[in-house]
């Protein structure tokens, strides 16, 4: 299937001369949730603003569902809903007027039943006659999403959708985004919260200093780069690791009570059986043992560090 968004060799230099994007290639697949991760200033907002036609590119090509975003701007833009980081709507408008107006801006015929469905999904139906200024922060965020959906886009961009949102609302928003995916909308989200990507994304792209340094299936990424740790609670504290165990990637906790063994999840052998034998030979006894897998956060931090 052809990608729904295709970006090739995209560059962006701002008027200041700063080069925010340095030759970005990216395909977004139809119907997926794609998470774009990157540290502050990496170029995430620049990239999505260019795809959405808010910022001009310097060079490169972008198509949205086959439509060139410059030559065929109106068509390309009509397929996209953008949820920006901040609300820019008139505070004196009502919720209903805002979503109706936005739909009209895209030249779509009125469809109160559709807008009602959107507002109900976002738990804003009861607030439809409220003025925006009377909404809570969480409701305002949901209104941004309702606005972005008002013209029935096929693609939804969410720029930091849950920044500064409490845990409960974050979970609600995740659920809502999953529901949108189920209804066939392709979703691209930028986020600082690795947990969000870990929870939601089908694929993850990492951007650093204007380069896409990696695009991968989330599950594959975690399998490939993930490391596991086995933690052994020692019966007697250790101050140093015996020489006989030099071949293992071992560390001791600060208090000396835990021995930590790191191993590759992809390696054919974990080395655990051999390690346990060698520990026995070195007369190191332990009580409890547990394992943990590295998180996407740890993977991300090491990627960005190495990608520089």
- Applying CB under 6 A, the residues found at the interface with ligand ATP are 14, 16, 18, 20, 38, 40-46
Q: Which two tokens stand for residue 302?
A: 């090491």
Smallest distance, ligand ATP to C-beta of residue 74, A = 25
Q: How many CB atoms lie within 10 A of CB 305?
A: 9
CA distance linking residue 92 with residue 25, whole number of Å: 42
Smallest distance, ligand ATP to C-beta of residue 301, A = 15
SS3 104: helix
CA distance linking residue 17 with residue 19, whole number of Å: 6
Q: How many residues would you count in the chain?
A: 308
Q: Which two tokens stand for residue 242?
A: 């015996």
Please give the C-alpha separations between residue 222 and each of 172, 228, 238, 265, 303, in angstroms, as whole numbers.
25, 11, 32, 9, 12
Which CB, 124 or 303, lies closer to ligand ATP?
303
Q: Which two tokens stand for residue 10?
A: 């995209």
DSSP H stretches of helix in the chain = 44-51, 73-78, 95-105, 112-121, 137-149, 167-182, 194-200, 218-225, 272-281, 296-307
Q: Which two tokens stand for residue 222?
A: 């975690």
DSSP conformation letters of 183-232: TT-EEEEEES-HHHHHHH-SEEEEEETTEEEEEEEHHHHHHHH-EEEEEE
With the C-alpha atoms ordered 99, 104, 106, 111, is the resulting torsion angle positive or negative? Answer: positive
């Amino acid at each position: 299937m052809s990608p729904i968004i295709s970006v090739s060799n995209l560059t962006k230099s701002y008027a200041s001369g700063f080069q925010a994007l340095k030759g970005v290639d990216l395909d977004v697949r139809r119907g997926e949730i794609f998470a774009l991760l990157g540290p502050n200033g990496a170029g995430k907002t620049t990239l999505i603003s260019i795809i959405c036609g808010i910022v001009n590119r310097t060079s490169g090509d972008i198509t949205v569902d086959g439509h060139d975003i410059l030559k065929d701007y109106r068509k390309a833009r009509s397929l996209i809903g953008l949820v920006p980081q901040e609300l820019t709507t008139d505070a004196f408008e009502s919720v209903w007027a805002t979503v109706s107006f936005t739909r009209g801006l895209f030249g779509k015929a009125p469809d109160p039943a559709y807008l009602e469905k959107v507002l109900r999904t976002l738990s804003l139906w009861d607030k439809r006659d409220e003025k925006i200024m009377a909404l809570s922060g969480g409701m305002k965020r949901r209104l941004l999403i309702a606005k972005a959906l008002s013209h029935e886009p096929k693609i939804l961009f969410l720029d930091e959708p849950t920044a500064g949102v409490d845990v409960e609302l974050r979970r609600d928003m995740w659920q809502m985004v999953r529901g949108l995916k189920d209804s066939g909308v392709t979703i691209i989200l930028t986020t600082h919260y690795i947990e969000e990507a870990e929870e939601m994304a089908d694929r993850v792209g990492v951007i650093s200093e204007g380069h896409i340094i990696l695009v991968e299936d989330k599950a594959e990424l975690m399998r490939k780069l993930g490391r596991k740790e086995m933690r052994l609670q020692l019966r007697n504290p250790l101050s140093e690791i015996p020489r006989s165990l030099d071949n293992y990637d071992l560390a001791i906790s600060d208090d000396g009570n835990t021995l930590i063994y790191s191993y590759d999840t992809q390696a054919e052998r974990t080395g655990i059986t051999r390690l346990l034998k060698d520990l026995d030979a070195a007369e190191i006894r332990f009580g409890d043992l547990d394992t943990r897998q590295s998180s996407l956060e740890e993977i991300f931090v090491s990627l960005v560090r190495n990608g520089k």
